[in-house]
Amino acid sequence: MNALSLHRPHRLLPLLLLVLCCVFPSLAEAARISELTDTGMLTRAVRFFTFQDPSLRYALAGSMLLGVCCGLMGAFLVVRKLALMGDALSHAVLPGVALGYLWNLTKDPLAIFIGATLAGLLGAATVQLIRSTTRHREDAALGFVLASFFGVGICLFTMIQNLPGGNKSGLDQMMFGQAAALGRGDVILLACVTFLAVIAVLLFYKEYLLTSFDPGFARSIRLPVPFFHYSLMLLLAFAIVASLQAVGVVLVSAMLVIPASAAYLLTDRFARMLLLSALFGLCTGAIGAFFSFVGRSLPTGPFMVLAAAVVFALALFFGPRYGILPRWWRQRSRSARIQRENTLKAIYHVLEKDDFRREAVTFKELAAHRRETLEEARQQIARVADVELVTVQGDVIAFTPDGWQRACEIVRNHRLWELYLTHAARIAPDHVHEDAEMIEHVLGEDTVRKLERRLNYARRDPHGKLIPGLEDIRQGPLGPAIPPGGPTVPPTA
Amino acid sequence: MTDTPSPPPLEVHDLTVAYHQKPVLYGVDVAVPPGSLVGIIGPNGAGKSTFIKAVMGLLPLSSGWVKLFGEPLSRGGHRVGYVPQRESVDWDFPVSVMDVVLMGRYGRLRLGQRPTRADREIARDCLDKVRMLPFANRQIGNLSGGQQQRVFLARALAQESDLYLMDEPFVGVDAATEAAIIALLRELKERGRTLLVVHHDLTSARDYFDHLMLLNMRLVAFGPTAEVFTPRLLQTTYGGRLSILTDVAQTLGSQP
Amino acid sequence: MSSLVPSFDWQQVFLQPWSDAPAFSCWIVLMGFLATAACGLVGNYLLLRRMALVGDAISHSILPGLIAAFLLFRTSNTWTMFFGAFAAGLVTVALISFIQRHSRIKPDAAICIAFTTLFALGVVMLSQLEGRGSFHLDAECVLYGEIAIIPLEIPVTLGGFTLGPPSVIRMGIVLLGIVAAIAFFYKELLITSFDPGLARSMGMRTGLWHYGLMSVLALVIVSSFEAVGAILAVAMLIVPPMFAAQLSDRLPARLGLTVLHAALSAIIGYHLSVWLSCSAAGAMVVAGAALFALVWGGTLLRQRLQRGTATPPSPDNFPEPSR
């Protein structure tokens, strides 16, 4: 897109390398799963944080690596609206897992990896084929691949169970994942896949970005779009297959989609989204491993997914820009501001009725003008007085200089807009008031200048009332300045 | 029917519609006289389709009201036939031409009631009027663009409404079909029906319609074609957007 | 490898199951047929509304529903479980629309987030319960069901007349209900799926029909869950309508073909499972997918042949590409 954002992803590199460096030394002398003794929760937590357990080191490293690699791939899925592709592929690899096991009837990570990757690619190709040769839509194609491949996988699995001999113990864990069962081979595989994903993203960042955002344009500048699509699918299949052991078939798609979606809610830049998504993946992977370890032989996948879901929920509710609560809060403060401005406007109107012969109004007048009770008027004024736009002395309300200026602006906005609608847009004068009631609070100074120019600096609104100009706003209601001590003139009855 | 002081088929007062992103229509005031063939004209993005959808109650109104035959939509709705844009439905849907035309009768049937023989007869007649009877058993995807449009028209005819709202019925239609459609619209008008047709071609608009409604985010003019089709009004309609109106519309739209 | 695929013996695969244990075979095939037919009929409408994967979402989220119902009421009685799963299905739909409405997350991601989170919650609760030994729900059963235990259920008797296993009876009632609902509300379902705008202008409540369909969807998934599990239920929702769509472009014909597909895949799948001695539900899904692949290959072949001959295909002048 623009040259600026292209070199941004290189900031990813140091961070990811750092992670890899932290992870590898810890693996160096780690041994295969050791016997876990029965101890209390707290002891286990302590053991977690001191990394005494070699199996824990594998589990933790594996979970974090898979978080990073799924997070990176997931970001592409989310922006390409292919979230369910991850779901479909993760189910579709099942027959490949079974066939990889059948290769030599042991749980050989490499054989399973190759078989599952092939099955995943076959699934992706089937989706593409169904879409291009039938009238079925993408959702149907994905569902078909997901369910029918899974069916084949289930048949193979039940057939394997009838086989004599062989070590099938690890296969059940493919469903829900068991990070504690990660071996050295699994972790190395995960590290390789993560490394590959990071390198691919760094090298081809701008190509992947462009083919995701606008494939048509990418094709027009001669980028090999299918190559980038399928290379992404291949990386995705790698990521899914490598993560199966730790998260399980059903929940891999969650680790792809949830951290990336949370990142999507927090930023508008794709490079930053990749980074955040990988970071969220990393954290949730670690949290999942922690709970799985502390809770003893609990499946890891669900805990990772729940951790990711918590992150997502936080982003959904508290994300500064798009979060539900910040938006609600902004909405609330805006309506409070509109209420205050309406009160100021009402004071202005009351003063205007008397041709600005005085500079203060009473609660009674204000209440009468707005057709509300005295109590309501007092509440409204209290809110405005809180932000020092008016001063109240006994029964009398007067503008502060700021308040006067704001009131003038609001009234000016209202009347300019009415004039604009009737003059330029030819809307009947009796229709414009309601619209202006809303617009007056949102017109910026820029727009106001444009409006004034467009309307030849008109001084009268469609109802014949004066539009306060810049000069009026700078001066007080009664000439050059408001007396500093506030209002002194009592209203004449 | 036209002599009695009956309420106008369509009356719109101060209609303002805000789409999710930007408000598209400001304070439109219109009362359409019965038995008129009205062309809704305006540049792209002027809110022509929005107007139709708002009248049909398919979009929420920001302000104002719509009355059909003097009644709100909930009670006057059954007297209105609606022809949406052709792209609005899935043409791979497994229904035949006849099924689609029969849908025009559904509004008159009770919950769970089957279309009767009489309904089928009416649907058959309507198909015949648009010369699509030979295609009655075809799946709707196997039709050309003009034929699809004629099916929609037949469906609207089957609704036997007094007021028709049509969204761009001439888009992607060959010249012969266009002539056939306009002849049909005139025939309906002769029988006292009122028709509002969104149209994008200025040159043919003058010949097709007896009333014109010039829209560009607000109502520029409404009246008999001879009075409204003037260079000055057309210039106002097509001559550039009111930039400030658009600006403010976007400011409003960007707020949650 | 040779021990994986037993040698094919015609008699053993096709005749023995019916001669040795006729009741057993009969109930399994019947259950498979009823579940596939009920799911497939509902699936037709899902596919037309482009919501195929909402079925996927609901079927996954049934697990936490079952467990939550157990935790709340402390019984594993059928109706409690049924209620819990049904409620979970509706919660999923609501959660999806909540995420969609309040953020810029796209629908596909929203579906994925909602169901995986609920499913994860379910697995965690399940493993906690199992740790205390108070609840037994086989994880494998969740994923691919236990159709083989259905003939072993205590049969329902009505007035001294033995009807059959309760799951089968329940499934039959659900199927009958669905057929009746489609027959009665045919035109409403048709028009709200085809042209919601027109439906709304005629005064139909499209939102109500949407939630109605979602409830029925939850109902069929819950009732076939026991037999086929969460994920294979998705296959039964999607594959039969796809098979039917390949063969016909009329809705009534498609509905009929869906039922036919259900029958074929149940019978073929059962014999496949006898031959390979694998999960019957899985084999039914494989058979169903194979039937689709067969028909798909057939249409591709026909298109190729038609293109080969000189005359262009019959559908007339086609000025623009259909989208």
Give the span between the Cα atoms of A445 and A146, in whole angstroms: 56
Which helix H or strand E contains C164, and what residues bound it? Answer: strand C161-164
Nearest to A358 by CA among A474, A478, A476, A471: A478
Phi/psi at B59 (5° precision): -130, 145
Spatial distance between the Cα atoms of C200 and A366, rounded to a whole number of angstroms: 47
| For residues C122-136, average pLDDT | 73
8 A C-beta contact, residue A32 and residue A182: no
Are C256 and C60 in contact, with CB atoms under 8 Å apart? no
How far apart are the C-alpha atoms of C253 and C244, rounded to whole Å?
8
CB-closest option in A427, A443, A444 to B26:
A427
CA dist., res. A293 & res. A478, Å (int):
76
pLDDT at residue A489, rounded to an integer? 42
Cβ of A425 under 8 Å from any chain B Cβ?
yes
Residue B1, C-beta contacts closer than 8 angstroms, at least 6 positions apart: B34, B192
Q: Which tokens is B94 given?
A: 């497994």
**C 134-163: CB under 8 A from A:** 139-140, 143-144
- B63-68 sheet: strands from edge to edge: B23-32, B10-18, B63-68
Q: Which residues does chain A have within 8 Å of residue C3's beta carbon, measured at their own beta carbons?
A: 163-164
SS3 of residue B157 by DSSP? helix
Q: Is B27 on the interface with A (CB under 8 A)?
A: yes
Q: How many whole angstroms separate alpha carbon A114 and alpha carbon A117? A: 5
Return contacts of A46-52, CB within 8 angstroms, 24+ apart.
Answer: A48/A290, A48/A293, A48/A294, A51/A26
CB-based contact A451 B244, cutoff 8 Å: yes
Burial status of residue C312 (CB atoms within 10 A of its CB: 0-12, 13-18, 19 or more)? exposed
Please tell me the distance from the alpha carbon of residue A66 to that of residue A73, in angstroms, as a whole number.
11
Residue that is written with structure tokens 């669900």 in the block: A302
Residue located via tokens 């078939």: A249
Nearest to A386 by CA among A343, A356, A351: A343
Residue C287 has pLDDT above 90, yes or no: yes
Chain B nearest-CA distance from C108, in A, is: 20
pLDDT tier at C136, thresholds 50, 70, 90:
low
List CB contacts (< 8 A) between A322 and chain C. Answer: 103-104
Does B26 sit within 8 Å of A330, measured CB to CB? no
Smallest CA-to-CA distance from A279 within A62, A70, A50 is with A70
Q: Is the pLDDT of residue C137 over 70?
A: no
pLDDT over 60 at C1, yes or no = no
How far is Cα A346 from Cα A340, in angstroms, rounded to an integer? Answer: 10
Q: Flag whether residue B244 sits within 8 Å of chain C, measured between CB atoms.
A: no
Q: How many CB atoms lie within 10 A of CB A233?
A: 21
pLDDT in tens, B104-153: 888 888 888 888 999 999 999 999 988 889 999 988 888 888 888 889 98
* Pairwise CB contact (< 8 Å): C200 & B58: yes
Q: What is the pLDDT along chain A (493 residues), one digit of tens a residue?
A: 344 344 444 555 555 555 555 554 444 333 333 334 445 666 767 766 666 677 778 888 888 999 999 999 999 999 988 888 888 998 899 899 888 888 877 777 788 889 999 999 999 999 989 988 888 888 899 999 998 999 998 888 888 877 776 555 555 667 777 777 777 888 888 999 999 999 999 998 888 888 888 888 888 888 888 888 888 889 999 999 888 878 888 788 899 999 999 999 998 889 999 999 999 999 999 988 888 777 666 777 888 899 999 999 999 999 888 889 998 998 899 889 888 888 888 888 888 888 777 778 888 888 888 888 888 888 888 888 888 888 888 888 888 888 888 888 888 888 888 888 887 776 777 767 777 777 788 777 788 888 888 777 777 777 777 787 766 666 655 444 444 444 444 443 3
In sequence order, the 6+-apart residues with CB closer than 8 A to the CB of B155 are B83, B100, B101, B103, B104, B126
Residue A236: closest CA among A79, A110, A131, A117: A117
Nearest CB partner across the interface for A443, out of B26, B218, B248: B248
Tokens of C124: 């965690």
DSSP bridge partners of B32: B10
Report residue B62 as tokens: 């920001």
Residues A367 and A354 sit within 8 Å (Cβ to Cβ): no
CB B47 within 8 A of CB B215: yes
pLDDT at B248 over 80: no
The two tokens of residue A85 are 């592709």
Residues for chain C: how many in total? 323
Contacts of C318 in chain B (CB under 8 A): 144
**C24 close to B (CB below 8 A):** no
Whether residue A333 contacts residue A339, with contact meaning beta carbons closer than 8 Å, is answered with: no
ipTM over 0.85: yes
Q: If you measure CA to CA, which chain C residue comes closest to A264?
A: C105
- Is A261 within 8 Å of C235 when comparing Cβ atoms? no
Q: What is the pLDDT of residue C310?
A: 46
Q: Which residues in chain A have Cβ-Cβ distances shorter than 8 Å to B244?
A: 420, 424, 447, 450-451, 454
Produce one character per residue of C41-70: b if its CB has 16 or more CB atoms within 10 Å, e if not: bbbbbbbbbebbbbbbbbbbbbbbbbbbbb
Question: What pLDDT was estimated at residue A490?
Answer: 42
Are B54 and B61 contacting, i.e. CB atoms less than 8 angstroms apart?
yes
Residue A434 contacts B, CB cutoff 8 Å:
yes
Find the CB nearest B172 among C199, C200, C320.
C320
Q: CB A134 to CB C299 under 8 A? A: yes
What are A158's two structure tokens? 């039940």
Q: C-alpha distances in angstroms, A377 versus A343, A368, A383, A488, C316? A: 9, 9, 10, 21, 74
Is there a contact between B144 and C248 if contact means CB atoms under 8 Å apart?
A: no
**C232/A150 CB distance under 8 A:** yes
Question: Does residue A141 sit in helix, strand or coil?
Answer: helix
User: Cβ contacts of residue B32 below 8 Å, gap of 6+?
Assistant: B8, B9, B10, B11, B38, B194, B196, B211
| pLDDT single digits (tens) B200-242 | 888 888 889 999 998 888 888 898 988 888 887 887 777 765 6
N- to C-terminal Cα distance for chain C?
47
Test mutation, B244, B245, B246, B255, chain A, max A CBs within 10 A: B244
What's the pLDDT at B21? 53
**Strand, coil or helix: B166:** strand
Determine contact, residues A115/C246, Cβ cutoff 8 Å: no
Average pLDDT over residues B73-96: 82
